[in-house]
Amino acid sequence: MSNALHFRDARIVCPVGGERRGDLFVADGRITDAADDATVIDCAGKLLLPAIVDLGVAAIDRAAFRAGGIVRVGLMPDQSPVLDEPGIVQRSLLIGRPDLWIHPIAAATRGLLGTDLAEMAICASAGARAVGTGRRWIADTGVMARVLAYARDLGLVVVSHAEDSGLVGDAVATEGETATRLGLPAAAALAEPLAIARDLMLAESADARLHIRQVTTRAGFDLIRVAKRRGVRVTCGITPAHLLLSDNAMSDFRTFAHLSPPLRSEDDRQAALAALADGTIDVLCSGHDPRGPEEKRLPFADASAGAAGAATLLPLALGLVRDERVSLERLVALLSRNPAALLDIDTGALSLGSEADVMLVDPDAPWQISADTLPGMAGNTPFDGLPVQGRVLRLFKGGREIGAAA
């Protein structure tokens, strides 16, 4: 059987080539202008998009990734063991292929302890595509300065978590009416912009590439926006949870809404939507962090932070398009092209010669998010019960079909 494909009558959306209705051809795993003896796939006007590159997942969860149209992931360094040695990095790089390509984010410091620099150069030679601070902020300014300088010399982006640990402490919520009413340990939202301000100044001084994995506050977005205008090489990301939910979602002590960073005020949520609209936000990611009942069926303050987000990323993102928060073309860049560029991977587009990482999507297919039936390792989603639209019908990695949503 030929490995060539002919996607016929598709609504093709590419962040490089724009949107068109027509045909797309694949041969030898790459997009081409024609293909002999191709298998015809009748798309019937459905969306044909670049498959998702999910930057910053906490766990490898093949079923959730397949359902969500994700074929490449930037794996966080907070693994067991930590991704701070070349052997560990190389093993994580290879375990998902050929269906899933894992791009490790190596630990910036040994054991992610924020004290001694890890062997970034050796980890990069073993396949790391970036270095990161994991779920923690590096409190020692001297260490962070050295991390940024070393990463710059290696041509790597530093993926940073932005919360001043001195202010956050053991907090599980953002200071405000909700946290006060529930009696939860809380920290001021100021912890985020304080961390961002320091890291921006260090990155500017070092002329280093800095990606702040999640920005969630008005003050944080203001700092990023101004820094970009100054020419600082900074980018930032966000998850659908911080775009669509405020701290009111914690009102019933529902631990599925216990996230890191914690949910913010409605004012911060509106600022996030504005930052999405004006281009301040560069990456939309799932923040996929599946947690089982043994970690979530606890009092809110004792439960683990994190949410399963891979299977719900696409339908929630398509909702932003329907609400006219962002164009479909830009959404594809947020989900695919921009994270690929941060990791220096030549993918995320449907242009000639590109690797055929493609998903066929029905944007109007209705379904209801259910924590009990969500594909993957766990269903701890704060969107449990929410009606959504959009399903992956077929998914291809390098022109090879690897699965579709259940």
State how far the Cα of 364 lies from the Cα of 356, in Å rounded to an integer.
Answer: 24
302: which residues sit within 8 A by CB, 6+ positions away?
none
In a domain, residue 26? The reply is no
State how far the Cα of 247 lies from the Cα of 251, in Å rounded to an integer.
Answer: 8
Domain range spanning residue 236?
50-345+362-387
For residue range 275-330, list pLDDT tens digits in order. Answer: 999 999 999 999 999 999 999 999 999 999 999 999 999 999 999 999 999 999 99
pLDDT at 405: 40
In a domain, residue 230? The reply is yes
In a domain, residue 20? The reply is no
Q: How many domains does the chain have?
A: 1
Q: Which residues of 138-152 are buried (b: 16+ CB within 10 A; e: fewer)?
A: beeeebbbbbbbbbb
Helix, strand, coil: what percent of the chain each, to 5?
35, 25, 40
State how far the Cα of 279 lies from the Cα of 376, in Å rounded to an integer.
Answer: 31
Contact 391, 362 (CB under 8 A): yes
Instruction: Tell me if the pTM is above 0.75.
Output: yes
SS3 74: strand
In a domain, residue 64? The reply is yes
In a domain, residue 298? The reply is yes
pLDDT of 345 strictly over 50: yes
Number of neighbours of residue 12 by Cβ within 10 angstroms: 20
State how far the Cα of 149 lies from the Cα of 61, in Å rounded to an integer.
Answer: 33
Nearest to 210 by CA among 187, 235, 190: 235
- Name the band, by pLDDT with cuts 50, 70 and 90, for residue 177: very high
What values do phi and psi take at 12, rounded to 5? -90, 125
For residue range 351-384, list pLDDT tens digits in order. Answer: 999 999 999 999 999 999 999 999 999 999 999 9
Alpha-carbon distances, residue 239 vs 4, 106, 245, 265, 378 (angstroms): 35, 21, 10, 15, 18
pLDDT at 2: 56
For residue range 383-396, list pLDDT tens digits in order. Answer: 999 999 999 999 99
Looking up residue 276, the CATH number of its domain turns out to be 3.20.20.140
pLDDT at 403: 63
pLDDT at 89: 97
